[in-house]
Each structure stands twice: as structure tokens, then as C-alpha cells.
Amino acid sequence: MNPILAVNSGSSTLKFGLFVPDGEDERALLRGSAEGIGKGKGTLEIFDGGGKSLHREERKYSSQLEALKHVTDAMAALHFEPPVAIGHRIVHGGPRLRDHARITPDVLKTLGAAIHFAPLHIPTSIELIRGAEAIYPDLPQFACFDTAFHQSLPEEAYRYPLPATFAEEGVRRYGFHGLSYASVVHRLGSALKPRTVIAHLGNGSSLAAVFDGRSLDTSMGMTPTGGVPMGTRTGDLDPGVLFYLIRVHKLDDEGLETLLNHKSGLLALGGASDMRQLQASAAKGDHDAALAINIFCRAVARTVAAFAVSLGALDSLVFAGGIGEHSAEVRAKVCAQLRLLGVEINEERNQASQALLSLEESPVEVRIVPSQEEAQIAREVRSLLAV
């Protein structure tokens, strides 16, 4: 069956899936996630390909690596065939690692040299790669970079207005959530409209302008901190705010990083990073929670409108990610601000989170397409194994 294990690590979660080829696609034998990593308590849940729960337990995980070891033990206990290869989602590979690639000592060395591009993500990725090597010493491992999808960005989209020497060092827009975008493009197939904006909205949120299946513009920048406000990240800021924080509040680089990535965004605005909590609080009259939701939706709508300029028109808007797939309120607020572009949705379809949301007569198609990052990792790895 030649199963491929896809590993997708987040800040406090480890998602995974075991996939086998199914025609030209990948079929899940199992999917699952370890939640609450690094927190007081956590859970592990494993489902079969049809969504039936196979295993669930509460367990404390001190690290991503500990979670991975327990995941592989649980897979073996369920008598699944061991994988023939492992694919890792890597958030950032720096300027030199942009293509999905088999992991070699040189690739690991280059990844280690790029830690300053994503200090919150790359060390964990390296730890997981080395840990997986210890668990499966004979298996090939592959790095699937979230930045790879955005290699098609034109220079006017990725270049910052800074002296050229910084661009030569790799200071540029990279874009992220590439595996999510690639999975949406794959799933839509021939139904993908030529000028599409995909909004991956979750705890980390970004948008991409996709022209004929290729990234033309994207909201995140050199790091995943840029773009629209997120669960705990600021999104784009006037650089003068940073000067103020340094001069007046005496923040150093670590203090800035903690503030901008972990103490800002929806959490700072509304008291919670989870959109579901914000919506519940707003429904009870909490002004700050309602403001956080409105600021988020306004930023998303503004980005969609800006990307209509990048694309020359707007044929389709696709919602993905946890918020994009499940929050009817957010989708409605975003779309209401885009009526000037011809965006009109059916409220009953939206409340039911149906796949097609737009009115039949609307010139802009609006859809929900759940992203499948783990399946996309398996597709990328399978294609590299075939080379």
C-alpha cells in the first residue's frame, strides 16, 4: 500500500495523517491530532479515513517530539502498516529552501542556518525531523515548505522598499499557508476560477491572490506575523509603533517578538484568541469582543479588495481554515463589505456552511473549501518519491 505519514506541527498541536495512493489522489487511512502540547493537559485522537474515532485519550505532552512518539506508538498499536516515507510541513526554509525536498544533512544544515527567519517554528521542525529519524531510522523524510506555493510571486509583490543589500540577504515577502492554498487549488481542479482570492482564516490567517492556480499576491510577508490581525499576532503594523515600543517601553528583540506574536491580535483586542469565544462574548454585549471581530473582518475584506486590484478582477472568493470553514458570522461580515465588487451570498447557505455560498446571479462565486494540508503533504512526498 506504500503509506506516507504526513506530520503537521503547530504551536500547541500536532496533526498527522497516514495516506495511500488512490488513483491520482491520496486516501487517508487515518487522521488525527495531539492537542494541548506544552500545556497543563492534552488529548490525542485518531480517526479512520471515514471519520470514525479509533482512539482517544487525555495525556500531557511536554513537547512536539513527545507527542510524535506517542502518535507513532498508537498507530502501531492499532496495527496500521508502517509508513514508507514521512513528510513534514515546514513553515519557513529561508531564502535558500523554497522547493519541497528530500531531507539530507545539507538540507538540515541550511534549515538550521535559517532559524532567524522563523525562530518560533524552525527549531521545532528540526527536533521533529531528528525525532522521526530515531523512530524510523531507515525511512526517507521530506520537507514540504509553506513558502513553496508563493514562488510564483512577481517581484513587485515580493520586493520590499528597502536598499537592495537587504533583498540580497533574503529580506522579502515569502508568503505562508502554501500547503493549504495548494490543497484548495487541487480540490477545486477545473472548477477553479481564473481570478480567485483564497482566505485561509484560523488562529493564523492569511489570504492569497491566485491567478490560474498560481500565487500572484499574498498577505503575510517575510514572517507569518504580517498581514491581517490573527489570534495572537498583530498582522501589519506601522514601523513607527515598533520605534515607540523600543524607545518608550524599552522592549528588546525578544520582548517585541513575544508581544507581536503571542500577546496581540484578537487576544489583545477582545480578550480571547479563539473566534468562538469572541462571538459568544459579543453576543452577550461585550464591546471589546465585538470590536475584535469587526477589526478582523474589515482587515480581511480590505485585503480581498486589494487583491482584486492585483488580479485585475475578482471571479471567486474561497474561505478555508477553521474560522473560514465554520464561522458564518465572519463570512457574512466579510462578504457584506465586498458588495461593491459583486459579492453576494445566500444567508441560508452561509448559516448551513454549504460548499457554495454565492447567489446564482452573483458575478463573484463564493465557496467554502476545507484545506487538507496533510493530504497535500502526502501528494508532494509521493511525487518526490517518483522522481
C-alpha cell at 226: 504580517
- Which of 22, 73, 138, 146 does the annotation list as catalytic? 146
Q: Judge whether 127 and 211 are in contact, CB under 8 Å.
A: no
Query: Could you tell me the three cell numbers for 145?
Result: 515548505
The 3-class secondary structure across 220-271, one letter per residue, is: CCCCCCCCCCCCCCCCCCCHHHHHHHHHHHCCCHHHHHHHHHHCCHHHHHHC
Tell me the C-alpha distance between 26 and 369, whole Å. 17
Torsion of CA 156, 145, 67, 108, to 10 degrees: -120
Contact 144, 91 (CB under 8 A): no
At 62, list the grid cell: 511536554
Helix or strand holding residue 373 (H, E): helix 373-385
Q: List Cβ neighbours of 163 (8 Å cut-off, separation of 6 or more).
A: none
Three cell numbers, residue 177: 499557508
Please state the φ and ψ torsions of residue 225, each to the nearest 5 degrees.
-80, -25
Phi, psi for 195 (deg, rounded to 5): -115, 95
Residues 31/16, Cβ–Cβ less than 8 Å: yes
- Beta bridge pairs of residue 8: 15
Q: Answer whether 106's CB lies under 8 Å from 127's CB.
A: no
User: In the sheet where 206-211 sits, what is the strand order?
Assistant: 214-218, 206-211, 195-200, 316-320, 365-368
- 3-class secondary-structure state, position 127: helix
Query: Which cell is 236 given?
Result: 501589519
Bridge partners, 53 (sequence order): 47
Catalytic (active site) residue 138: no
Which residues are known catalytic residues? 146
